[in-house]
Each structure stands twice: as C-alpha cells, then as structure tokens.
Structure 1
Amino acid sequence: MSAPEISLTDSAAPRSLTPGTWAAIVVLATGALCMLLGPSMPWLVQYPGAWTIPATEWIGTGLGGFLELIKPVMRVFSATLGYPMDWANVFFSWLPWPVFIAAVTALGWFVGGWSLAILSLSGLGFVLISGYWVESMNTLSLVAVSVPLALALGGAIGLLANEVPRVKSAIQTVMDVMQTVPTFAYLTPLLLLFGFGPVVGLIASAIYAAPPMARNVMLGLERVESDIKEAAIMSGGTRAQQLFLIEIPSAKTQIMVGVNQCIMAALSMVIIAAVIGGFNDIGWEVLLTMRKAQFGPALLAGLVIVAFAIVIDRISGQMAQERQRYDLRVAVAIFGIGILVALVLYSSLPSPSEFALLTPTAQWLDEGLSTFTRENGLALDGFKNTVMFYGLLPIKIGLDGAVLPFTWGFQWTGAMSLWFLGAAAALGALVALSGRVTLGLMLLIFAGMLETGIAQLPWPFVLIGAGAIGWVAGGVRLARFAVLMLAAVLISGLWDRALLSLYLSGAAVLTCTVVGGGIGLACALSPMLWRVMRPVCDMLQTIPLFVFLIPVMMVFQIGEFSAFLAICMYAIVPMIRYTRQGLIDTPEELIEAAISSGATTWQTLVQVRAPYAAPTILLGLNQTILYAFAMLVIAALIGTTGLGQSIFLALGQADVGLGIAAGAAMAILALVADRLVQGFAAERRKALGL
C-alpha cells in the first residue's frame, strides 16, 4: 500500500497518514524508548527469567504421564503394524530386480510414454549400480506401508471436514500445526510410545504425509461444481452414494495430486525416521556415512534417494493428470521381458550387490574432495568468513557486537552508532519528503535493527512490531493473534532461542527473496533461461531435506554457514517459481494498454506487471518462509543454534517436554509469519479486485 504525498504545511496532514505509516511510527517509537531506557531498565531488553513459566517441565510431566498411560496400547499397535512392514520387506527383498525394474518401467510407459519409461529405467538402473539396492528395497517397504496408512488417514480427515462443516476450521488449524511443527518435535513422544525401530519411522512418515492428502481431498470436494452436486441430489441417491459415486470421482484429479504429495512427503521422512529407526535402509546409510564424514558414499546414497524421489514423483504426477494412457500391450510386453529375464537367469541371476559399480566413484569423490578442501581451504574459509563476519554476524548480534578488530579490523564505538543512526535518519527524512513516509520510517527501523541485531532485539519491540504488521495486514484480529502467539513463546522461557532461530531463518529468507526473486524475474523475461532453470527447480523440490546437508558439509564442513546454505538451497525454489508465474500471468490487455500509452519495458514491468504479480509473489514468500523453518531443524545436525538445536537435543535425550515446547515455539514463529504474509497477499488481491 503506497503512502499518499504528505504536505508539511497542511495542518490536516496527520489525518492523511496511512495505517502503514502509523504502524511504523509506533514501532519506531517503541524501539527508540527501549534503546534509551534499556540501560536503566534492563528488563526492557532482556526478559526476566523470574517472569517465565516452567512450560517445558509442565509439558514433560503432563504429557509424560499420559504417554505412560497409553504406552501398552500403543506397543500393541506398533507390533500389529510390524507385520505388514515385515511382509512388505520380505516381498521386496524376494522380488528379482529385473522384475521390479520392468514393472516400474512398464508403469512409466503406460502413464507417460517413452520419456517416462526411459526415466524410470535410468533411475532404477542407477539405484542398481550404486550398490544400495537392498537398502533401497528396505526403504520401499517402509514407504509401501506408510503411504496407504497416510492416504487412509488423510482421506478420512478430508471427508470429515467436508461432511461436518462445523469441524472444518478446527481441522484446518490442526493441519497447519501438523505441517509447521518440526518433524523432530513429534518424533520424541513417538519414541517414548513405540521405542526404537522401523515402526516408529513408519508412524512418523504416516503422520507427516497425511495433511497433504487431507488438504487436497477437502479442496477437490470443494471445487466440485454445484450443477454436479444438484444432479446427484435430484437423482435420489443417498448421501453416501452422492459422495462416493459422484463427488469423489469428479474430484479425482485434485485427490490424485494429494496422493502425489503424500508419497513425496512420506519419502522425504525416510532419513529423518532413520535417526530413531536404526533400520538398514537408504536413510540409515546416508546418516551413517555422514556421521563418519564419508561424503562420497553419503552423496551417492543421497543421490539414490533423489533418483527414487524423481521416478516416484514423475509417475504419480502423471497419474494425477487426466491424460490419455499409452498402449497397455506395450506395458505388458515390458513387464513380460523382465519376468523372462528373471526366469532365464533364475539360477545364475547376479545378486544386486555385484552391481556396485559406483563404489569406486564414491571413494574417488571422497578422496578428491579431501584434496580439494585441503588445497583450497584458505579460499573456502575466506569466503565463509566473509559472509559470516560481514553478513550473518551483524544480522545476528548487530554492528555493535560484530564489528571488532578480529572481524572488521576496527572496534565499533558508541559514536559510530550515533553517526550510523543519524545517517539513517537523514536518508529516511529525504525519502519521507519525497512522499514515501512509510518507507522512510522503515529505513530507520531497519537501521536500528541492524545496529542491535535480531538475536538481541528488545522483546517489547518484537511484540509491538509483530502486532503493528498484523494490524496493517489484517486488522485487529490478526494483530491480536500475532502478539498473543509470540507472548506465549516469551513467557515459556524459549525467547532467546526463538530469536536465534528467527535470525537464521530470516537471513535465509532475505537471501532467497533477493536471489530467488531475481532469478524468477530473469526467467519471466527469458523463456530460454526458464527452460534451463525448470529442471533444476524440479530436482531441488524432489530432493529430501537431509540430502541438502551433504554437499554443503562436503565443502564447508560443520557450522552455521553450512546450515545457512542448506536452508537457502531448499527454500529458494518457491520464490523462483512464484515470482516468474506472477509476472507472466499479467493480463495481456493491461500490458497492451501500458505499451500503447508509451511505457517502456522497464516501466511496464515495474508499474504494471509487478503490482499485478504481488499476491502471487507474496504467496511464494509465504512458502519460502515455511520451507526455511522446515529446514531449520534438519540443519541443526550441522551447526545451528536456537530452537532447532533444542528439538534435536530433546530427541537424543527423550525429553518430551523440551521437544514439544521447542517444536511448538518454532511452529508459532512459522504460523505468525504465514498469517502475516497471507494478510498482505489478501490485501493486494482485494486492491486488484481479484
């Protein structure tokens, strides 16, 4: 929302200030008061520990007692689930590899033609020659049981929300929480309930994969045209007949999208589940080789997961589209060839372990990487330290704490702070005098935040700032939600760790916004560049989260910088996709009107395309924020601090209270950011009449 021009001589000028301007004034005043009164009132800067509540202990005691009460029933349930998983494991271990490869290739042909058949054959061929075939089949047995469980659970939840509108809002809230609470957080209570083993990974995968299915079932049934529903009612069928014979088939395409997302979500949990599963699957191989710093084998095992993910994603994605299927006879012939090969070579069929052709490559890569890092260690350390000392560290602890003789070559002083803030105030005043008052105030606010550091921001400034943003984005209700949610984190005693998480995820989101937005802009202007970037984005979106840790660890070792890079790699794709999509979706009549009025290409982009694309770009920012928080906990394995580290430590110590409390705090941060961005997106859509 742009601020109108302000006349300094107009006595009625304050009345023309926009809500954004008033919000910026309140936030700036709060920050100034905290800076001035902080030395004499330290409680304004550091929230007193005496004012917190022992939320971790309360949750641990209450939930621990409840878990102990239901543990016997859950152990029986766990043992029951162990049977189908064992059967699936026996089946996939027994199935000859030529038959399995032929079956998947035949399915790829039937739903996608030769291109998908060749992709399936190549992907599984890579799995075979990697030497991880047995581990991959163990992984597949876990997915084969967890996916139907997640589909049934998610489908039932979606149907319940559709049939009982009163519970729909509550179900959507639960779905939000399930998708924003870090996966490690609910692994801790599962560990206490079911103990160590693959079944825990199975249940965790099903819980994580159910929400996408539920959301797509709800969305698909909502989008069934009213004419179809009325025709079903007029036909005299029962409600069950209307639902299962008319509405669900009509929503098939959207529901199949949910199946695709459910499968991918279950597969992405493979390595995470290996943390507590101890199962001889591909996830455990990745985790084990990473712990041994064997980055070549770790990368190879990670690429096996990527190959599986790409093949499954492409096949299930094609099945979700209503396209003409290819000749079934060819698919049967491909499958028959696989059976024939297995029968002919039955007595002499090579074991999958004999095809470990890429093991020398992995060892060569490991040795080559060691040589590369040894020979280029100074350059790599220089790059890492430059980004840390001149970028991440000032954002984290502020210029006052980051500018030292060891880092910048000189000591930051109080006089420098005054000059820095004075220069920011002068620049903000110039911008305000040009008619952009809100932007001028925001420049001064950001300067104060940079001087202080996100991890050391006064808690009243954060609460009032979040409330002010919520008021501008969605009114009093959103402001109240933001303040109350953050206040819950504040009084829980996890505030300092929450600010550390906010710093790292915020720095990653800012980087993804600038870099990803720039790439998306370039792709919107150049279709050729998008043809290059699209497969890269597709690959990044199908890679399970853990795999992102491997390349950054290979080059930059363990540390906060490696975690930052991993978060950026995972979270940048939505910003690229949505920025490009928003810019190319601008109606042609608007572009033609701009061109006919004499606007240049740049003016058309800035004044027509960008404003119209703002809601879509904000949606991309929303997804980037959620992706960054999701990756934050995984990145705790390689050197982050804050809530992610607390969640991971709680898992290792089986501390339910700390795990749930820290997970809830991170979910609150993600939910508040999600609601604020959605509020701005809704405001922009309303302004555009969409």
Structure 2
Amino acid sequence: MRGLSKGSLAALITVVVGVLCLLLEGALPWLTTYPKTWVLPASDAIGMGVEAGLVFVKPAARMFSALMAYPMAATNYVLAALPWPLLIAATVALGWRLGGVRMAAMAAFGLGLVLLSGYWPQGMNTLALVAVSVPLALIAGAAIGILANEFPRFRAPVQALLDVMQTVPTFAYLTPLLVLFGFGPVVGLIASAIYAAPPMARNVLLGLQRVEPEVKEAAVMSGGTRMQQLFQVEIPAAKVQIMVGVNQCLMAALSMVIIAAVIGGFEDIGWEVLLTMRKAQFGPAMLAGSVIVIFAILIDRMSGTLAQERRRLWDGRISLGIMALGLVGSLLFWRALADPGSYQALDPVADGLDSWLTDFTRSNADLLTSFKNSIMFYVLLPLRIGLDQAILPFTWGFQWTTGMSLWFFAAAGAGAVVLTLRGQLTGALVLLIMAGILETGVSQLPWPFVLVGVGALAWVAGGLRLAMLSVGLLSTILVSGLWERALLSLYLSGASVVACAILGGGIGLLSAASPLAWRVVRPICDMLQTIPLFVFLIPVLMVFQIGEFSAFLAIIAYAIVPMIRYTRQGLIATPEEMIEAATASGATGWQMMRDVRAPYAAPTILLGLNQTILYAFAMLVIAALIGTTGLGQSIYLALGQADVGLGISAGAAMAILALIADRIVQGFAEERKKALGL
C-alpha cells in the first residue's frame, strides 16, 4: 500500500467494494436495495416539526404578508396607470444616460416589442413584483454581508447559510412559504426576495473584504466612529463589487418570476407563460417568455454598467429631453392612447410560429423521433438502468446476456492491465469503476458502493474531513427513504454535466483559439445567461414534447454557459512568459494548447465545471415540470400537496448532492492551483 498514490488507493478501495457487492448480491440482496424497514420516517418527522413551529410564526407571517400587499398593490397601480409612452421614454432616457445611443436604442426596441406583444399590463405586474422584492433582498443581503464582515465569528456560519440557500432548489422552500403566507402574489414576492438576497450578501462581504488596508487605516486615523468608517469610507470604496451584487440580485429576482407564479400567480408574465404552456400554445408561450427575456437583458445591461469601475455617464440634458418628449406626448395624446393590452401586433407572429412548428414537427417527425430515441436508447437509458437491462431487442436489436457481461468485464480488465503496465494504475482502476457503473446503471448501484466511492473521491479531493462529511450527508438521504430518487437525480444531472463538459469544453476551446468564433459565441452566451430558467423549457417542449429527453436538453442549454466561459478564460489567461518559452522550444499550436495552456487553465476549468454542476441541479427541479423523475418530481409534488416534510427533505437531499459535488470539485481545483504554485 505504501507504493500506491492517494488516488490509486481510493480507486482500489472502491473497486474492491464494488466487486464484493457484485459477488454478494444474490446472498445479500439488501446490498443492492436498501431495506424499507431500515428507513426512518424523516419526511413525516420534519413535516410535523416544521408545521408545529410554523404555527407560532404564522400570525406574524400573515401580518407581514398583509402589510406587503400595500406596496405591491401601490406599485401595480402606479405602473398600470402611467401611460406607456412615458414609461418607455423614462427607460430610454435612463439607457441614454448609462450607455448612450446603443443602450437607448436597445431600450426603445425592447419595450416596443413588449408593447406590440400585447403583454404590457402583465409585464408591468411582473416589474411591480421585482420592484418591491428587490429592495427587500438588497436590504437583507446587505445586512447579512455587513454582519459577517463586522463579526468574523459569524462569517463561517453565514457562508454556510449562503451555500445552503444557493444549493437548495427554489421549489423546496416554496412549500413552507405557502403554509406561512398563504396563496397569492405576496408569496411570490417573498420567495423572490429570499432567492435574490444571497448574491447581494456575498458581494457586499467580498467588497468589504477587498477594501485596501491603507483606506481602512486612513479612516481610523481620521478619528471617525466605526459606523462612520463603515458607511462613509469602506462601503463607498467597495461600491463596484456591491453594484455587481445589485446586478445579480435583480437578475435572480427576475428569474423567480415564473416560479413564483406557481404559488402566487396573478396576471403577470410568469402566469401567462405557465398558462400558455399548459394549453400547449407554444407560440404565445414563446412570445410571453420573450417578454421576460427582454426585461432580463435590459435590466442586466443597465445595472451592469453601474458595476463598471470606470463608467461614462452620457449627457443628462438629452435624457431630460427624452423624458420631456414622453411626457408631452402622453399629455397631448392621452385620450387617443389605447389600452396597452390591445396592441397585439405580434399575435400573427406567435400564430405563425405555432403553425410553422406544427408543420416542422410533422414533416420531420421521423428524424426528430430517431434523434430522440438514439440519445435515449444508446446513451441515457444505459446510464440509468445499465447495459444488462437497457439492451433489448426493442432498443438495440438484440438481448444482453450474462455471457456478454463477462466479456464486457474481461475487455475492461484487459484495458486496465494495459494501463497498469504503462504505469497508470489510477486510470486502470477508474476504468474498472466506470465499466461497473455502465453495466449496472447509476439508478441500480449498490448503496455501499456509492457511499464508499463518493467518500473515497472526497478524501482525494479534500481530505478525511470532507470524506466524512460527504458520507455522513449521503447517509441521511439513505435512511430518509429518498435514495432511489436521489440516484435518479444524480443520473440525469450527471449525464447533463458530462454533455456540458464535452460540448462546452469544445466550444470554449474553439473560442480561445479563434477570436472570430468567440465573437459569434459570446452574444449567444450572454443571451442564455439572461434567460430565466423556466423559459428554457419552452423550445424543447415545442419540438420534443414532455419527457426526460426534453429535460436533458433544457438542463444542457442552461448549464453549458459557465463551462464555455471558464474554459475560454482559463485557456487565454496563460502568462506570456510561458507562451514565449513554449514558442522558443518549437511547440506547435496544438502542443502549446495541450501541454501549456490546458494544464495552466485546469483550476479555472474546474471552477467552470463546478458552476455547471450547480446550474444543472438548479434546472433539474424546474425540469420536473416536464416529466422527469427523482427528487425534482418529489419537490414539485410536495408543493402541489402542501407537504412541508417531503418538500424540505427532498429539497435538502438535492442540496446535499449539489453541496458534495461543489466541495469535491473545489477541492480538485485547489489542488491544481497548489500544484501550479498559484
């Protein structure tokens, strides 16, 4: 054992446990299927405990809900009563002030499309929700960030709380909110505020920590009190990073619009998207979804300029002139202005999209079905239930037999021997592990193998403490009775992450090698990053209907952007001296990319993979609406049944999977940084 590396030892232990589970499966069936008699009634206990606690909080929560209804109604009234020319003029004026002609034109064009879509009233209701929820999130997030900065002993618990809030699926905490605050738009407002607060808290804390020591010393030397130092010196010095938090807070609140419509639906864009999707009116659903995308792009671009360290403010007199034109136009044509909801000039476009889509799916039904079935039968299904159950005459044209399993393991063993002879023992053992997983299927893996495998991987990535934490957290899922659903979630999110790593890594590599390719890819990434989660479901539903494959594509579309961005950033960030040394040694472009840029970029690429994993888990719950199984479906069902216990336990299980994956990938990234001396 002394000659084995840490990775080889971990892989060997995993292989031994896997072989034992395989050999003892017949004699000890509990190794494969966790006995139901060993399951603890965790969901029921959590539900009873939470509901008992909520009884005492519910009166205060209902009172707060009633109070928040007033600013919500007032904001709704103001935005609905103001004439649309004035609102468009105000937005265009703000766009001019922040970004000049380009941003002003973007604002005019975007809001013009919203008006012509006929969804102006619903759009204003959506903005009202954002306008009230964002200040709540900003105040709460800023308070948390300042508290963690001022009291270092609270910093670790606050970071852990923010990690949990980031990894817990949004649907999971909608259930207790529904019990606390009841059904209605105010619940959506509160849910949006809770979801949007962590980005603000993180950026406030990060900004305050990055304030130069000289600035802090100067504030102390000036004799100011601690409050004066904080609010007059440190917070202004950290304003750029804090404005990044404001930008992320706005985008997070807007991304919750449709999700909040599930429990607090009123006549807003989220409700329109849900309604049209349920009626399979894909043209109107796409049109309503495009309104959210327009709002997201405008809010992102305008608030993003405030986060720039050196920004140019354009002539304010022109902004005032634009506002004056909007006001004069509104006053002169007040009676002539029609109900903004009646401007439905884009309805023919939506109807045409529906008609075109119907014709497209009918004329290409065989091709689309073949593509869908190929991915399902030859990739997803084997990963889910294993080769021995997925390969059938109906799917592959022949039946998988025991003899084939023996030949498959023999081939894997031969490959492992070859790798071992080349000195790649860890790679050989990993090959055996992957062969066992593929033959068995992720959803059918023995629970001791999963616990030991994840613990071993965590030990390699972050040491004994992370290994114990990972095994302990996974064990809570095991004894809670959610293990099978957790494995189903792990399978789909894992398959999506692998696809994102391959496709996103390839696109990121191409973007790093070709500036022209990046000019094409960058606006697509920007658009994908500003689209709220729910909108990703619309195009895949339009083409492939409800099912696991549609969820798979939606997760990829949402989670691929970090992989592209981080891969490109890592590859182009190689120090010039390393490039010059490689060039002087006669390295070709491919050799430089493989042997110089890629190893240096590994920590950054791993961070991109980490973000991709978190994005995949976030989208997995949303994808439950279109037919997936696993923890996401449990969370959604708990929401519909107001089952607090199931909602919290399933949400916690999803958060545990995401948290473990996050810590393991971060551990490998830190290890690579140390190896590179960073």
Determine which of 303, 315, 318 is the counterpart of 1:327.
315
Partner SS, residue 604 of structure 1:
helix
Determine which of 442, 452, 458 is the counterpart of 2:430.
442
1:168 matches 2:155: yes
- Mapped to 1, the partners of 2:218 and 2:646 lie a distance apart of 54
For residues 42-81 of structure 1, the aligned pairs below 5 Å read 42-81=29-68
Q: Deviations over 1:45-84 (max 9, x none)?
A: 1111111110000001110111122211111110000000
**CA positional deviation for 1:492:** 0.9
Q: Deviations over 1:455-479 (max 9, x none)?
A: 0111111111111111111111111
- Mapped to 2, the partners of 1:264 and 1:278 lie a distance apart of 20
Determine which of 220, 232, 239 is the counterpart of 2:207.
220
1:572 matches 2:560: yes
| Matching residue's letter, 1:274 | A
1:7 corresponding residue in structure 2:
none
Q: TM-score, normalising length from structure 1?
A: 0.97
1:149 corresponding residue in structure 2:
136
Number of matched residues? 677
1:662 matches 2:650: yes
1:462 matches 2:450: yes
**CA positional deviation for 1:681:** 0.3
**CA positional deviation for 1:112:** 1.0
1:114 corresponding residue in structure 2:
101
- Mapped to 1, the partners of 2:54 and 2:130 lie a distance apart of 26
Answer with 34-43 or 204-213: which moved more: 34-43
Partner SS, residue 16 of structure 1:
coil
For residues 334-345 of structure 1, the aligned pairs below 5 Å read 334-345=322-333
Q: Deviations over 1:106-153 (max 9, x none)?
A: 111111111111111111111011110000000011000000000000
- Mapped to 2, the partners of 1:286 and 1:105 lie a distance apart of 26
Answer with 183-192 or 344-353: which moved more: 344-353
2:604 corresponding residue in structure 1:
616
Work out the percentage of aligned pairs sharing the same amino acid: 68
1:292 corresponding residue in structure 2:
279
Partner SS, residue 15 of structure 1:
coil
Answer with 327-336 or 374-383: which moved more: 374-383
| Matching residue's letter, 1:87 | A
1:488 corresponding residue in structure 2:
476
- Mapped to 2, the partners of 1:327 and 1:115 lie a distance apart of 14
1:513 corresponding residue in structure 2:
501
1:309 corresponding residue in structure 2:
296
| Matching residue's letter, 2:361 | T
1:390 matches 2:359: no
Determine which of 672, 675, 678 is the counterpart of 1:687.
675
Q: Deviations over 1:304-336 (max 9, x none)?
A: 100110000000001111312111111111111
Answer with 454-463 or 364-373: which moved more: 364-373
2:569 corresponding residue in structure 1:
581
1:525 corresponding residue in structure 2:
513
| Matching residue's letter, 2:82 | L
For residues 541-620 of structure 1, the aligned pairs below 5 Å read 541-620=529-608
2:173 corresponding residue in structure 1:
186
- Mapped to 2, the partners of 1:38 and 1:595 lie a distance apart of 56
Q: What runs of 5+ residues in structure 2 fail to find an aligned partner?
A: none
Partner SS, residue 247 of structure 2:
helix
- Mapped to 2, the partners of 1:644 and 1:129 lie a distance apart of 36
- Mapped to 1, the partners of 2:387 and 2:583 lie a distance apart of 46
- Mapped to 2, the partners of 1:342 and 1:472 lie a distance apart of 66
Q: Deviations over 1:351-397 (max 9, x none)?
A: 21232100111112112212221222222111111100000000000
**CA positional deviation for 1:597:** 1.3
- Mapped to 2, the partners of 1:317 and 1:114 lie a distance apart of 16
Answer with 646-655 or 440-449: which moved more: 440-449
1:644 matches 2:624: no
For residues 258-269 of structure 1, the aligned pairs below 5 Å read 258-269=245-256
| Matching residue's letter, 1:342 | S
2:660 corresponding residue in structure 1:
672
- Mapped to 2, the partners of 1:49 and 1:126 lie a distance apart of 56
- Mapped to 2, the partners of 1:304 and 1:182 lie a distance apart of 24
- Mapped to 2, the partners of 1:418 and 1:482 lie a distance apart of 33
Instruction: Give the alignment's Cα RMSD to 1 decimal.
Output: 0.8
**CA positional deviation for 1:599:** 1.7
Partner SS, residue 236 of structure 1:
coil
Q: Deviations over 1:176-224 (max 9, x none)?
A: 1111111111000111111110000000000000000000000000000
- Mapped to 2, the partners of 1:658 and 1:449 lie a distance apart of 29
Partner SS, residue 609 of structure 1:
helix
2:526 corresponding residue in structure 1:
538
- Mapped to 2, the partners of 1:420 and 1:126 lie a distance apart of 57
| Matching residue's letter, 2:667 | G
Determine which of 184, 189, 196 is the counterpart of 1:209.
196
1:127 corresponding residue in structure 2:
114
- Mapped to 2, the partners of 1:354 and 1:180 lie a distance apart of 41
Answer with 383-392 or 371-380: which moved more: 371-380
- Mapped to 2, the partners of 1:166 and 1:319 lie a distance apart of 32
Q: Deviations over 1:406-456 (max 9, x none)?
A: 110111001100100110111121122112211111111101100000001
1:6 corresponding residue in structure 2:
none
Q: Deviations over 1:264-302 (max 9, x none)?
A: 000000000000112100000000000000000000000
1:477 corresponding residue in structure 2:
465
Partner SS, residue 157 of structure 1:
helix
The 1:16/1:601 distance shift into structure 2, 3 A limit, reads: farther
- Mapped to 2, the partners of 1:688 and 1:466 lie a distance apart of 26
2:71 corresponding residue in structure 1:
84
1:10 corresponding residue in structure 2:
none
Partner SS, residue 552 of structure 1:
helix
For residues 239-258 of structure 1, the aligned pairs below 5 Å read 239-258=226-245
| Matching residue's letter, 2:184 | G
- Mapped to 1, the partners of 2:420 and 2:114 lie a distance apart of 60
Q: Which runs of 4+ in 1 moved over 3 A?
A: none
1:424 corresponding residue in structure 2:
412
Determine which of 2, 10, 31 is the counterpart of 2:18.
31
1:8 corresponding residue in structure 2:
none
Q: TM-score, normalising length from structure 2?
A: 0.99
| Matching residue's letter, 2:643 | D
- Mapped to 1, the partners of 2:523 and 2:671 lie a distance apart of 33
- Mapped to 2, the partners of 1:686 and 1:517 lie a distance apart of 23
Q: Deviations over 1:509-532 (max 9, x none)?
A: 000000000000000000000000
Q: What runs of 5+ residues in structure 1 fail to find an aligned partner?
A: 1-13
Partner SS, residue 113 of structure 1:
helix
| Matching residue's letter, 1:635 | A
Answer with 183-192 or 369-378: which moved more: 369-378
| Matching residue's letter, 1:555 | V
Determine which of 623, 626, 635 is the counterpart of 1:635.
623
Q: Deviations over 1:15-44 (max 9, x none)?
A: 332111111111111111111111111111
- Mapped to 1, the partners of 2:471 and 2:591 lie a distance apart of 39
